[in-house]
Amino acid sequence: MTYETVATFSQVTSLLLFITMFAGVVVYALWPNNRGRFEQAQRTALDLDVRSQKQEGR
């Protein structure tokens, strides 16, 4: 087994792993059951910002 063969195998394996992980993240983000969780996280961040502005006297 030469260096070129090992390097090519490693590159192809890494690319396939990256594509699989990326697809998994996209599916997770767009999965309908996760919508409520993401909306709650969005509201929490905005609520925390409003609360901190009220405490600062803005």
Whether the predicted pLDDT of 3 surpasses 90: yes
Question: Measured between alpha carbons, how far is 53 from 55 in angstroms, rounded to an integer?
Answer: 5
Long-range contact set of residues 49-52: C-beta below 8 Å, sequence gap at least 24: none
Residue 38 has a pLDDT of 87
| pTM recorded for the entire structure | 0.63
- Give per-residue pLDDT as tens, 5-58: 999 999 999 999 999 999 999 999 999 998 988 888 888 877 766 666 666 765
Residue 55 one-letter amino acid = Q
Residue 57 has a pLDDT of 65
